A = this chain, B = another copy of it.
Amino acid sequence: MKKIWMLVLITLLGVETYAQQKVRPVIVIHGGAGTIRKSEMTPEQEKAYTQALEEALKAGYTVLEKGGTSLEAVEKAIQVMEESPLFNAGRGCVLNNQGQPELDASIMNGKTLEAGAVAGVNRIKSPISAAKAVMQQSEHVMLVGKGAEIFAKSKGLEMVSPSYFIVEKRKKQLDKVKKKEKENKDKNTKSQWEDTNPDRKYGTVGCVALDQYGNLAAGTSTGGMMNKRYGRVGDAPIIGAGTYADNNGCGISATGHGEYFIRSAVAFRINALVQMKGLSVEEAAQQTIDFVGKLGGIGGVIVLDAKGNITMPFNSEGMYRGYINADKKMEILMYK
């Protein structure tokens, strides 16, 4: 009898130890960086963005609390933002120079370094789910255009008409940009192209999560840049530029002027600074944003490591961002 009680005690201690060993989940999101100023935001707008970010955070965190994986949490949080017309991803995305949506997304598993991405699609309702399907159900990492759509359909993903993504606000923005472009056509150089469209560069949504199993995942989804050239792919679907995750380094999702983020290999650069130079995520992310800034690029990143350390630096005026940390503290921020 004594022996049985000893056994029960040992088992209880074992369960307790196991419970303590579980990693406390963390989730970080962004909803794009850019010209986000308190002076230009109405209380209603501020409330709408805050609510949407909170909804995305809580949806992802609930997945983690229920024992879901970081990959599932990243997909869920991003889907909430894809479905909100407030963000430049999924419904409400910006339009290309032909007035059409062209969506990009990617996702990465920090445990296995598996990754998936889609680009130039406008018939898949959730681009982040398509990226996850490419990772888990194909032999490839990246599928683009019609080929990506055929694949997504074959895997049973929800398909929509391109018009699903288009909201009135974006049509008006495109008209405005195109009008300005026409007015300035005589000086239609590279820099002028950038000058006329100062706002369109930065919209993207992203998420990095750490689950109770200690695994990181990161994902990014976007409509790209307003009035972008048909066929343009930015950093969001590029593994190593817009997204990267490695349990031994960190998970990263970027938002910004994608061309500069690709050239700087932003996501992998941060991971490399952590892994190869032993920098903290704060130092690594700040150094990388400074590097991009020197090239002329504007934007930001969210970064999370396997110990739950969070950093969210940016060199734009603002970045929609938020987190729920290991202590279950939630914070949502927009300005500097």
Query: Any chain B CB within 8 A of the CB of A61?
Result: no
Complexed CA–CA distance, A147 and B119 (Å): 13
User: How long is the Cα–Cα vector from A239 to B138 in the complex, in angstroms?
Assistant: 22
Point out the residues of chain B lying under 8 angstroms from A233, CB to CB: 119, 142-144
Interface readout for A256-276 with B: 1 if CB under 8 Å, 0 if not?
001100111100110011001
Given contacts A142-B233, A229-B151, contact A239 B258 (CB under 8 A): no
- Within residues 126 to 181 of chain A, which ones have a CB less than 8 A from any CB in chain B? 138-148, 150-151
In the complex, which of the residues B139, B194, B241, B273 contacts A193, with contact meaning CB atoms closer than 8 Å?
A: B139
A3 within 8 A of B: no
Which chain B positions have C-beta within 8 A of A142?
232-234, 238, 262
| A190 within 8 Å of B (CB atoms) | yes
Q: Which residues of chain B come closer than 8 Å to A194, judged between CB atoms?
A: 139
Assembly CA distance A240 to B193 (angstroms) = 26
Q: How far is the CA of A318 from the CA of B269 in the complex (A)?
A: 30
CB of A295 closer than 8 Å to a CB of B: yes
Interface residues of A in 191-214 (CB under 8 A from B): 193-194
A244 within 8 A of B: yes
Q: How far is the CA of A98 from the CA of B172 in the complex (A)?
A: 39
Interface size class for chain A? 35 or more
In the assembly, what is the distance between CA of A148 and CA of B140, in Å? 22
Q: Please determine whether A231 and B265 come into contact, CB atoms closer than 8 angstroms.
A: no
Q: Is A335 an interface residue (CB 8 A)?
A: no
The answer to whether A277 has its CB under 8 Å from any CB of chain B is yes
Q: Please determine whether B231 and A139 come into contact, CB atoms closer than 8 angstroms.
A: no
Residues of B within 8 A of A144 (CB): 119-120, 144-145, 231, 233
Contact A228–B295 (Cβ < 8 Å): no
Partner of A151, one of B151, B231, B269: B231
Residues A231 and B143 in contact, CB atoms below 8 Å apart: yes
Q: Is A113 an interface residue (CB 8 A)?
A: yes
* CB closest residue in chain B, given A231: B147
CA distance A244 to B269 in the complex (A): 13
Give min CB distance, A189 to chain B, whole Å: 9
CB of A115 closer than 8 Å to a CB of B: yes
Q: Please determine whether B240 and A190 come into contact, CB atoms closer than 8 angstroms.
A: no
| Residue numbers in B under 8 Å from A277 (CB-CB) | 276-277
Those of A215-243 within 8 Å (CB) of chain B: 228-234, 238-241
Residues on A facing B (Cβ under 8 Å) = 108, 113-115, 119-120, 138-148, 150-151, 190, 193-194, 228-234, 238-241, 244, 258-259, 262-265, 268-269, 272-273, 276-277, 295
